[in-house]
Each structure stands twice: as structure tokens, then as C-alpha cells.
Amino acid sequence: MVSTRLIDMEDAAALARLVTENRDFLAAFEPTRDDAYFTVEGQRADLAGALGAYDRGLGLPHVITDDAGAIIGRITLSGITRGALQSCSVGYWVAEAAGGRGVATTAVRRMTDLAFDELRLHRVQAETLLDNHRSRRVLERNGFVRIGLAPQYLKIDGRWQDFHLHQLINPRG
């Protein structure tokens, strides 16, 4: 069964292997990464930043695991904002070999449940590249609706790209 759990510094080696194995596959969906990112030390630095945001209440970084507990991706609630907004963004990636089996759909469902039930947020936002049909289907299966277009929203794969914006409002109030 696919699950998620809070990241841990001990995940650095496994994540370094996974991002290295999926470097070409993920490049079209990620910012340009320098070679250091794909090392254990680079992953430790990334995890330290994510855990720092977690400690400040600004993020909830998880790994996605398979039936055997092996890491097959990452998913994060980021930009957690309190006050009148009560919102966050969800971002995720799944290893190429794990794609097409409902892994991302299950992980997004798990994280939106955490956002609404544990964090008591009102809204979760997600962004997809215009041609990322698989990710858009993941969001639709989880009840997200497209709410707009953000021109030149993020610098992905070395260039500023347009994104569709999606949101899910807490159905439990």
C-alpha cells in the first residue's frame, strides 16, 4: 500500500539514488539543478531546508513510499499560511518506474486529508505545467478544480513557463 511519512535526514542516501535515477525524467518538471543536488550531501541540504520550514510551521515535507517502505517520490505541503487565508500549496513527484499506478493520486489524497483534518486549512492549491496531463488527472481525481492560468509562473527546465492553477476547498468546512 502506498503511504507517505515525514521526511527524515536518514532519507538522504535513498533520495540521492532516486533523483539520480530519475534525473532525465524529472528535468522537464523541475528547476534546473546543479550536480550537487544529486549527491547525498545535496539531498541532506534539501532535507534540512524542508525540515526547517516544517519546524517553523511553513511546510509539511513527506516522502512517498511503496508497499515495502521504499521511497518512490516526495510530496510537500508548502507555503502554509495561517490567518484569514488558511492555505497551502501541494507539490509532488513520483519516480518514473512508479508512475501510472495511482501512487500520486493516493499521496495527494493523504496530504489533503492532513491539510484539512490535522492542519485545519481551508484550501490547498496546486500548479501544473500546461502539458502535464498526468498530474492534472491526479488533481482532478482528488477533487481539485482549475481556477486559472499563471503566465510565466515558474522557471522550470531552464525557462519561465505558464502553469494552470488548481485548488481544493476543504469539503469538511
Query: Number of structural domains, the chain?
Result: 1
Please tell me the total number of residues recorded for the chain in this structure: 173
Q: Render pLDDT for 53-73 as a digit per residue (tens, 0 to 9).
A: 999 999 999 999 999 999 999
For residue 109, being part of any structural domain is answered with yes
For residue 158, being part of any structural domain is answered with no
Q: Render pLDDT for 125-134 as a digit per residue (tens, 0 to 9).
A: 999 999 999 9
For residue 127, being part of any structural domain is answered with no
For residue 168, being part of any structural domain is answered with no
Q: Render pLDDT for 5-25 as a digit per residue (tens, 0 to 9).
A: 999 999 999 999 999 999 999
Quote the pLDDT of residue 84: 96
Q: Is the CB of residue 127 less than 8 Å from the CB of residue 146?
A: no
For residue 86, being part of any structural domain is answered with yes
For residue 162, being part of any structural domain is answered with no
Asked if pLDDT for residue 36 goes beyond 90, the answer is yes
For residue 155, being part of any structural domain is answered with no
For residue 87, being part of any structural domain is answered with yes
Quote the pLDDT of residue 172: 84
Average pLDDT over the chain, rounded to whole? Answer: 96
- CA 10 → CA 7, 48, 107, distances in Å? 8, 11, 21
Sign of the alpha-carbon dihedral angle for 66, 70, 74, 77: positive
The boundaries of the domain holding residue 52 are: 3-122
Asked if pLDDT for residue 173 goes beyond 90, the answer is no
Give the domain CATH number at 61: 3.40.630.30
Alpha-carbon distance of 127 to 138, in angstroms, equals 12
Asked if pLDDT for residue 28 goes beyond 90, the answer is yes
